[in-house]
Amino acid sequence: MPLNPSVQKAVDQARRPLRIAQVAPPVEPVPPIGYGGTERVIGELVRGLVARGHDVTLFASGDSTARPTRLVPTLPEALRAVGDSADALPYTVTTILDVLERVEEFDLIHAHLEWAGLILGRVAPVPVVLTFHGRLDQPWAPDAFARAPAGLVAISNAQAASQPEVPWAAVIHNGLDLTSAPFEPSPGEALCFVGRIAPEKGVVDAIEVARLTGRTLRIAAKVGWTPAERAYHDDVFRPALKRADVEYLGELSATDRDELFAESHATLMPGSWPEPFGLVAIESLACGTPVLAFPTGALPEIVRDGIDGFLGDDAATLAGHVEAVKTLDRPAIRRSVMERFSADRMTDAYEALYLEMTGRSGRREPIGSVAGSEGRDGAG
């Protein structure tokens, strides 16, 4: 017996692939050539959603190599390719305008534009998911979030906890396709640091760990583009290189970076930055390489102390754990992180949220506190 026309329409609507706009910032291509966490996550999400049959339009720089259903170039080349002094704000504004001009083409928009995304969320006539990839403990945050739309996503419990009054739609940990990460059963004795040359990332503390342990430290990091970061590189970082046996490799490709992780005794993450997530940690663990870190931000959600590595409050404490790294089970570390932080798990969680926000599934109550998010799919 045929279904009632209104029921049949609802069934057909539920079966139809979602038309999704993924909106990237203009600084890096998707995925990035070198360092760029947000754009790597967007690239993984685009790949996963297309594989599931969804229609995905990616708004990103024209030099992006991700393979969405279609790419809408928001500028010919990402800003880092044309010069570090470029101002991202005008390009972020024009990106929002590009999305709004085509908004009727989408069932849902997923923006990764940090604070500027709030504007898109307020004015777009379709549901908008806003994922925040940076730190939220900013003086303007309470006022901005008080007027925020629905659909806010944090990438860790720690990030969400920095704004506990926000009715988070979900806490969804980042994920990567880690299956091709190399594994070295007999790694070397050197330590490594991967990231950015900036005071909050702790590269000087990493050099101190190397000095205290007498081990070589191999640094793969980019120099930031702000005047303050460049001054830090010239006035603080470069003089500190003389304190220990340090090999500065500059910014590496993804393949070379993974090889560095796999070859290393441990990865150092002694930053004061309240990591909203910490992709470096999961990349290292996927190679079976333990992480020695300060317990800042989301790192305790990723690095299980005494299992995946060790946490400590200062360089001396981390140095004291270096020898104990040999007792950790590197194959088990690798297996665990691939399960906990896979790209498929992340895509599952976002797809469920998209279906909820477009009325394709039963609705859930928003997360009112970090405690309420524990144990949710994609949150742990």
Please check the confidence at residue 318 and state whether its pLDDT lies above 90: yes
User: What percent of the chain is modeled with pLDDT above 70?
Assistant: 89
Q: Which pLDDT band, with edges at 50, 70 and 90, does 10 fall under?
A: very low
- Range of weakest confidence among 153-157, 170-174, 343-347, 368-372: 368-372
Q: Which pLDDT band, with edges at 50, 70 and 90, does 43 fall under?
A: very high
Please check the confidence at residue 368 and state whether its pLDDT lies above 90: no
Phi then psi dihedrals of residue 332, to 5 deg: -70, -40
The answer to whether residues 344 and 138 touch, using CB atoms and an 8 Å cutoff, is no
Average pLDDT over residues 137-155: 93
| Distance in angstroms between the alpha carbons of the first and the last residue of the chain | 44
Length of the chain counted residue by residue: 380
Q: Which pLDDT band, with edges at 50, 70 and 90, does 352 fall under?
A: very high
The predicted pLDDT at position 77 comes to 94
- The two tokens of residue 250 are 């500059």
Give Cβ neighbours of residue 12 (< 8 Å, ≥ 6 apart). Answer: none
Beta bridge partners of 221: 195
CA 111 to CA 21: how far, in whole Å? 8
- Indicate the SS3 state at residue 44: helix
Average pLDDT over residues 189-204: 93
- Decide which of 85 and 325 is more confident: 325
CA 367 to CA 154: how far, in whole Å? 11
CA 262 to CA 4: how far, in whole Å? 59
CA 59 to CA 26: how far, in whole Å? 9
In the chain, DSSP finds a helix count (H) and a strand count (E) of 17, 13
Q: Which pLDDT band, with edges at 50, 70 and 90, does 4 fall under?
A: low
Please check the confidence at residue 99 and state whether its pLDDT lies above 70: yes
Beta bridge partners of 367: 168
DSSP 102-165: TGGG-SEEEE--GGGHHHHHHH-SS-EEEEE-S----TTHHHHHHT--S-EEESSHHHHHTSTT
The answer to whether residues 293 and 315 touch, using CB atoms and an 8 Å cutoff, is no
Average pLDDT over residues 10-31: 83
CA 334 to CA 341: how far, in whole Å? 11
Q: Which pLDDT band, with edges at 50, 70 and 90, does 360 fall under?
A: confident
Q: Which pLDDT band, with edges at 50, 70 and 90, does 15 fall under?
A: low
The helix (run of H) or strand (run of E) holding residue 210 is helix 203-213
Average pLDDT over residues 207-228: 91
- The two tokens of residue 232 are 């830090």
- The two tokens of residue 361 are 């599934």
Other CB atoms within 10 A of residue 133 CB: 21
CB burial class (10 A; 0-12, 13-18, 19+) of residue 32?
A: buried
Of 147, 104, 101, 97, which is closest to residue 125 (Cα–Cα)?
104
- The two tokens of residue 362 are 């039963």
Query: Position 377: which residue type?
Result: D
The answer to whether residues 358 and 109 touch, using CB atoms and an 8 Å cutoff, is no
The predicted pLDDT at position 373 comes to 36
The predicted pLDDT at position 369 comes to 34
For the chain, the average pLDDT equals 89
Taking phi over 0 as left and psi of -120 to 50 as alpha, with beta for the rest, 151 belongs to left
Please check the confidence at residue 302 and state whether its pLDDT lies above 60: yes
- Range of weakest confidence among 150-154, 157-161, 178-182, 370-374: 370-374
Domains identified in the chain and CATH numbers: 5-177+343-373 (3.40.50.2000), 191-340 (3.40.50.2000)
Give Cβ neighbours of residue 254 (< 8 Å, ≥ 6 apart). Answer: 34
- Decide which of 63 and 7 is more confident: 63
Beta bridge partners of 111: 23, 130
| Sign of the CA dihedral running 224, 230, 233, 236 | negative
Query: Position 96: which residue type?
Result: I
CB burial class (10 A; 0-12, 13-18, 19+) of residue 122?
A: exposed
Please check the confidence at residue 251 and state whether its pLDDT lies above 70: yes
Q: Which pLDDT band, with edges at 50, 70 and 90, does 273 fall under?
A: confident
Please check the confidence at residue 2 and state whether its pLDDT lies above 70: no
Of 280, 292, 347, which is closest to residue 319 (Cα–Cα)?
292
Q: Which pLDDT band, with edges at 50, 70 and 90, does 317 fall under?
A: very high
Whether the upstream peptide bond of residue 125 has omega within 30° of 0, thus cis, is no
pTM, full prediction: 0.86
Query: Position 363: which residue type?
Result: R
Give Cβ neighbours of residue 6 (< 8 Å, ≥ 6 apart). Answer: none
